Amino acid sequence: MRKMIPMILKMAVVLVMLAGLFCSDPARASEMDFSKAVVIGSGPKTVVEFTDPDCPYCRTASKYFDGRPDVTRKVFFYPLPRHPKAKEKVQYALSQQDKAKAYHEIMSGKLDRAQRIEGITANGVKLQEEHLEITRKAKISATPTFIINGRIIEGLDKKRIEEALGR
């Protein structure tokens, strides 16, 4: 029995670590570095948006929020691996002086047919990596994902978005 105690303790430690990994809450919006976000709009209601420029649902969400003057979006890009050109588009957008304008360019599909995207800088690549780290810390795994008034909404669920915005 004495020989089993260290093994039981090790198993208990592993179980506690796994429980923490799977049960911990995602990062709260208040813990995010919004100086890294692309800010779109100037409305009184804040929406934190995690998006992929090649995700069709993200593009629809972008159009939806463009019609909401009551919202300020704080956007973090999360290019999914199944969208091979998304990362390059994100790097382009984050390399531009006017990131909000570049966001609209890539979300509208303007760069979809480009063989090569010009204008990517080292700072844009670095910022894209920082967006990925923020996304990882927030435990975001799907796009689009929104944080509105502390509520996490995965997907373009307009009913839940409207409820979270208080409308």
What integer is the mean pLDDT of 107-126? 93
| Percent of the chain residues past pLDDT 70, beyond the cut | 81
Q: What's the chain's average pLDDT?
A: 87
Work out the burial of residue 143: count CB atoms within 10 Å of its CB; fewer than 13 is exposed, 13-18 middle, 19 or more buried. buried
Question: What is the pTM assigned to this prediction?
Answer: 0.82
pLDDT value, residue 164: 95
What band does 162 get if pLDDT is binned at 50, 70 and 90? very high
The model's pLDDT over 33-86, given as tens digits with 9 standing for 90+, comes to 999 999 999 999 999 999 999 999 999 999 999 999 999 999 999 999 898 899
**Cα 29 to chain center, whole Å?**
11
Domains of the chain: 26-165 (3.40.30.10)
